[in-house]
């Protein structure tokens, strides 16, 4: 299953994401991973969340992020939840690319019994249908 938290800058996306992560980690039976751009969530999340800084791994496009997610899962089959904070900062702000990435995430999550939540800083009214379906 995949979820998207979308809104313009200052709309409270990060607060929603933090609340969701901390709620999930309190009741999760598996591992929870959060991929962020930069180290800004370190003190907001439970110590049980595996924080990954995309900049440390030079992830700069959707294909690299797909490979990274695949590698995370290959190395740890106990991951049940993945959160990606600020998708556009990681892969760029191309809506078509983001839509294709989310479609891939949906099939990857279903095939591997995972939940993936992604935050996107953009106007939900301007989002293509391929993104809106996950809001």
Q: Which residues contact residue 84 at a Cβ distance below 8 angstroms, ignoring those fewer than 6 apart?
A: 34, 35, 36, 65, 90, 116, 117, 118, 119
pLDDT-based confidence at 73, cuts 50/70/90? very high
Q: Would the pTM of this model clear 0.85, i.e. be above it? A: yes
What average pLDDT does this structure show over 87-114?
Answer: 96
Rounded percentage of the chain residues whose pLDDT exceeds 70? 100
Complete domains list, the chain, with CATH: 11-120+128-132 (3.40.50.300)
2-39: per-residue pLDDT in tens?
Answer: 999 999 999 999 999 999 999 999 999 999 999 999 99
């Amino acid at each position: 299953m995949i979820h998207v938290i979308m809104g313009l800058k200052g709309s409270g996306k990060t607060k929603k994401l933090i609340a969701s992560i901390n709620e999930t980690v309190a009741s999760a039976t598996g591992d929870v991973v959060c991929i962020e751009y930069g180290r800004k969530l370190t003190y907001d999340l439970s110590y049980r969340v595996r924080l990954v800084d995309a900049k440390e791994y030079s992830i700069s496009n959707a294909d690299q992020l797909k490979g990274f997610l695949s590698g995370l899962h290959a190395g740890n089959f106990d991951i049940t939840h993945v959160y990606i904070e600020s998708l556009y900062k990681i892969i760029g702000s191309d809506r078509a690319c983001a839509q294709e990435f989310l479609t891939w995430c949906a099939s990857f999550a279903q095939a591997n019994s995972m939940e993936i939540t992604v935050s996107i800083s953009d106007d939900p009214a301007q989002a293509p249908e391929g993104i809106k379906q996950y809001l």
